[in-house]
Amino acid sequence: MAGVATGLAVSYTWGRDTASYTIHMPGPSIIKIRENLKNALRSIRDERSDCWLWIDAICIKQRSNEERNHQIKLMAEIYSNANVVLVWLQSANEDADVGTAFDFVRTAVAHDTTDRSVFNYIQAHFRTSRSTWNAVKRLCQLRYWTRKWIIQELVMARSVVLQTGDSQCSMLDFEKFCGQLQTHRDQHAYYDATAGSSSETRETLEFGRNLVSSPAARLVLQRSAETRGGQPRLLHELIERYADSVCYLPCDHVYALYSLVGEHRRHLSVNYAAEPVERFAAVLHFALTHDHLLPAKVLAFASLLMKLLGVTQETVRRRSAQLENFQLVVPATVVGAVTLQPESEASIALRTRIEPLQPMRTLTFDTRPEV
């Protein structure tokens, strides 16, 4: 796929259920998929025209570590070259009225031409939109937003469309929706509601606060910032920022973020067959050598990395040979008991030769205007 634009790349949650649905491929060959992907494909398909799709569960041989190692390095190219990344939001058995939420988002963004359009719309429909508010809340809490793999899929994409069933919403509208709520949250005049504020205003502000702190809004706002920033991304910062995101394999806490790292990522090996402690050593070495991780942050990052990769201290001790090449300089403060030592003869003799401190001069400023 290198250098070739795809039609549609699909971003979705895999789920933990058994892959029990069959797809017949040319060849002939058969691929088993899970229920959520089956639902997505049935909604996406258009019987009137052909469409090229890229779907990881189908396009990557999941049982081949060599294939996965290779494909990880192509993710940036795949998702950035796709004409559209289609986000299939709902997982199987998730209950959320996403279509209603999409309508609310689009209407709020287009309510007026000011940068308070969303706030104004929510406040104006305070009493009549309670059920719709709940639909938006459920949209922002869907399991999809907590998945680690979607981060690079969304950030690298040129164009994103959110979909569930037959309902769609442009990511641009959702970014504006979340962005305006964040702006008003950060502005004292809006979110430090005074005693004279109406109940509608206070509840609107509270709704905005809760929404901006949701998994969906955090990721959407980070996508917005990432696409505008253009700064090289550092692996250790990405691992720390997205530590709470969910993935099935511990190693994917690193590999799911690989494509977001700057061009220096080529120095990081991708190896699904590696032992956890080998992977820990490789990532830590990369952070020190190519990310230029500050010595003061080494211990905290190493501790987090061990937790995410499932590496225990006992494992590190048993496999210490793999860490022998590290030359770490870590600043540390040793706190011990304070003891009072007797004064030496030299310090007593110096007392007579040390002049006492002079009183500090008092300065007075005349702030009266000149005549």
For residue 3, what pLDDT band results from cuts at 50, 70 and 90? very low
Check residue 132 and give its pLDDT.
85
Mean pLDDT of 30-40: 87
The pLDDT assigned to 187 comes to 63
CA distance 53 to 40: 12
Residue 223 in this model has a pLDDT that exceeds 80: yes
Q: Is the pLDDT of residue 134 over 70?
A: yes
Mean pLDDT along residues 209-234 = 82
Tell me the pLDDT of the chain averaged across its residues.
83
Could you check whether the bond before residue 215 is cis, i.e. omega within 30 degrees of 0?
A: no
- This prediction has a pTM of 0.78
pLDDT in tens, 57-86: 888 887 888 888 888 888 888 888 899 999
pLDDT tens column, 278-293: 999 999 999 999 999 9
Residue pair 105/173 in contact by the 8 Å Cβ criterion = yes
Entry field: residues in the chain: 371
What is the residue whose two structure tokens read 């442009």? 170
349: number of CA atoms within 13 Å, CB side?
Answer: 3
CA distances from 153 to 86, 162, 238, 296, 363 (A): 10, 13, 14, 32, 63
Angle subtended by helix axes 298-309 and 276-289, to nearest 10 = 150
- Give the pair of three-digit tokens for residue 17: 């259920």
Q: Can you tell me the mean pLDDT for 10-28?
A: 81
Q: Which residue has the higher pLDDT, 205 or 192?
A: 205
- What integer pLDDT is reported at residue 252 of this predicted model? 95
More confident: 238 or 36:
238
- Indicate the DSSP class of residue 351: G
| Tokens describing residue 358 | 């002079």
Percent of the residues in the chain that have a pLDDT greater than 70, as a whole number: 86
Sequence ranges of the domains in the chain? 1-230, 232-323
Angle value at C-alpha 15, between 143 and 238, nearest 5 degrees: 55
